[in-house]
């Protein structure tokens, strides 16, 4: 918040990503693996209290957006109770007709069970959640072979990373075996649908 105030600004909104979110996660690896992270609900409650104090001090409105593992109307209702003003959802919308990702990427979501969820250490040094793929399993078992360095990250040493993040993401985006980030609880996502259907189901209509 201080960095905003320094520029005479306040955030337009705050997104709170809990431990069940997809991609890079802002928690310690051991806390995620040992299921010691606070829940999204607990974090939203705490952030909301802080944001409310800022709102009264600066006479402003800063919506708190909850994200990570939201799959049902009940999930949203619980978060509304602790002060969420909105929701950011990703995984439910990946296997939809409207999503412009490669068909194979969508199918990986449809086929994945809860057991295919992996927490990996990303070359950026943070834990990340992804779907188990041969690409990830091979690099974890045999080490990483970088055929082409994209120089995507200053300071990345291609000889000391678990896998090449650019190669993994490019492969997956182009429909090959690669790195597929995803949120948790994929077991309930079993078909390609439409954005309309996802929203209708979420709202229980
Ligand atoms: C494929 C994928 C890529 C993501 N990439 C980013 C990212 O680059 N930066 C970020 O802050 N969050 C990223 N996320 C997290 C989402 O923005 C979102 O907050 C989170 O996944 C919501 O949880 P859900 O997927 O369970 O709905 C990504 C999520 C997915 C599924």
Domain that holds residue 53: 2-89
Distance 129 CA to ligand 1 centre (A): 9
Q: Strands of 14-17's sheet, edge to edge? A: 14-17, 64-67, 86-88
pTM over 0.85: yes
Does 205 map to a domain? no
pLDDT tens digit at each of 205 positions of the chain: 888 989 999 999 999 999 999 999 999 999 999 999 999 999 999 999 999 999 999 999 999 999 999 999 999 999 999 999 999 999 999 999 999 999 999 999 999 999 999 999 888 889 999 999 999 999 888 887 787 888 888 878 888 888 899 999 999 999 999 999 999 999 989 999 999 999 999 998 7
Length of the chain counted residue by residue: 205
Does 187 map to a domain? no
Question: Do 33 and 109 sit in the same domain of this protein?
Answer: no
Cβ(67)–Cβ(19) below 8 Å: no
Atom 15 in ligand 1: residue holding the nearest Cα:
22
β strands within 11-168, DSSP E = 14-17, 23-24, 64-67, 86-88, 117-121, 127-131
Give the count of domains, the chain.
2
Question: Do 12 and 71 sit in the same domain of this protein?
Answer: yes
State residue 88 phi and psi, 5-degree precision.
-115, 120
Atom 29 in ligand 1: residue holding the nearest Cα:
22
Instruction: Report the pocket of ligand 1 as residue ranges, CB < 6 Å.
Output: 17, 20-23, 67-70, 88-92, 181-183
């Amino acid at each position: 918040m201080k960095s905003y105030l320094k520029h005479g600004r306040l955030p337009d909104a705050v997104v709170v990503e809990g431990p069940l979110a997809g991609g890079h996660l802002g928690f310690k690896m051991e806390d995620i693996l040992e299921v010691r992270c606070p829940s999204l609900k607990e974090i939203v409650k705490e952030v909301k209290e802080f944001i409310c104090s800022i709102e009264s001090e600066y006479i402003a409105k800063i919506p708190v957006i909850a994200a990570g593992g939201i799959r049902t109307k009940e999930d949203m209702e619980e978060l509304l109770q602790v002060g969420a003003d909105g929701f950011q959802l990703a995984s439910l919308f990946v296997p939809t007709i409207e999503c412009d990702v490669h068909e194979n990427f969508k199918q990986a979501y449809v086929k994945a069970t809860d057991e295919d969820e992996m927490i990996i250490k990303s070359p950026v040094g943070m834990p990340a959640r992804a779907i188990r793929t041969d690409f990830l399993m091979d690099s974890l078992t045999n080490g990483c072979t970088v055929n082409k360095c994209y120089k995507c990250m200053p300071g990345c040493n291609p000889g000391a990373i678990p896998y090449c993040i650019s190669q993994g993401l490019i492969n997956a985006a182009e429909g090959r075996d690669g790195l597929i980030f995803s949120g948790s609880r994929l077991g309930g996502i079993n078909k390609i649908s439409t954005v309309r259907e996802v929203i209708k189901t979420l709202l229980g209509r």
